[in-house]
Amino acid sequence: MSYSTVAKRYALALFSIAKEQNQLEAIEQELRTVKSVFIQNKELSILLENPKFSTDKKKDMLKEAFSSVSVPVLNTLLLMTDRHREDQVVGVVDAFIELSNEARGIAEAKVYSVRALTEDEKTAISASFAKRIGKQSLRIENVIDENILGGLKVRIGNRIYDGTLAGKLDRLERELVR
């Protein structure tokens, strides 16, 4: 993915702290929560980017909103506010998750299926596709797509493995048209 240089630097600094304190997974989960808050509450982003509010007032809002997160995460948010980088929070989270996944040999994957996958199915898909891409495991997000007649479509980064019935029919049609 493409992040700004600023987002990468903040993410790398936070990643170093998390690794040093052996809190990589805990901080990643907190950052995922922070990201979802910023994405779901556009008003928060608008308030933080509003120049009419003082930096201290913005920091107080962040302290109140994210009182349950760890000190490194809160300090990163406050530092970003001091430096007027509030618009980079989601990019920092995404860059941090990418660094964390790389360090642990994990890849993010979206699996499209007709129905919700069971945990056993997710585990089997993770084991099968992780070997193909040279990772230890996959973090799977199951997306239910009723347009898929059967089978699965797996998206890992910019790679798509299409094992759906609709995909197979499309490939068969292209071959027959040749």
**CATH classification at residue 74:** 1.10.520.20
Q: Is 30 a residue whose pLDDT tops 90?
A: yes
> Are 119 and 134 within one domain?
yes
Residue 76 has what pLDDT?
A: 93
Q: Which residue has the tokens 């992780």?
A: 130
- Residue where one domain finishes, among candidates 101, 122, 157: 101
Q: How many domains does the chain have?
A: 2
> Are 56 and 81 within one domain?
yes
Residue 93 has what pLDDT?
A: 93
> In whole angstroms, what separates CA 38 from the centre of its chain?
13
**Which range marks the domain in which residue 120 is found?**
106-177
Share of the chain above pLDDT 70, in %: 98
> Are 15 and 78 within one domain?
yes
> Are 114 and 167 within one domain?
yes
> Are 91 and 126 within one domain?
no
144-178 residue pLDDT tens: 988 888 889 999 988 899 888 888 888 888 988 87
> Are 138 and 170 within one domain?
yes
- Residue where one domain finishes, among candidates 101, 119, 145: 101
Residue 150 has what pLDDT?
A: 86
Q: Is 34 a residue whose pLDDT tops 60?
A: yes
- Residue where one domain finishes, among candidates 101, 129, 148: 101
> Are 130 and 52 within one domain?
no
> Are 97 and 15 within one domain?
yes
CB contact at 8 A, 78 and 58: no
Q: Place 67 in a pLDDT band, splitting at 50, 70 and 90.
A: confident
CB contact at 8 A, 62 and 44: no
> Are 138 and 164 within one domain?
yes
Q: Is 5 a residue whose pLDDT tops 70?
A: yes
Collapsing DSSP states into helix, strand and coil, what is residue 13?
Answer: helix
Can you tell me the distance from the alpha carbon of 115 to that of 148, in angstroms, rounded to the nearest whole number? Answer: 10
Collapsing DSSP states into helix, strand and coil, what is residue 146?
Answer: coil
> Are 144 and 113 within one domain?
yes
Residue 2 has what pLDDT?
A: 56
Q: Is 58 a residue whose pLDDT tops 60?
A: yes
| Rounded average pLDDT over 107-116 | 92
> Are 87 and 145 within one domain?
no
Collapsing DSSP states into helix, strand and coil, what is residue 150?
Answer: coil
> Are 64 and 114 within one domain?
no
> In whole angstroms, what separates CA 177 from the centre of its chain?
40
| Rounded average pLDDT over 71-96 | 91
Share of the chain above pLDDT 90, in %: 46
Residue 154 has what pLDDT?
A: 92
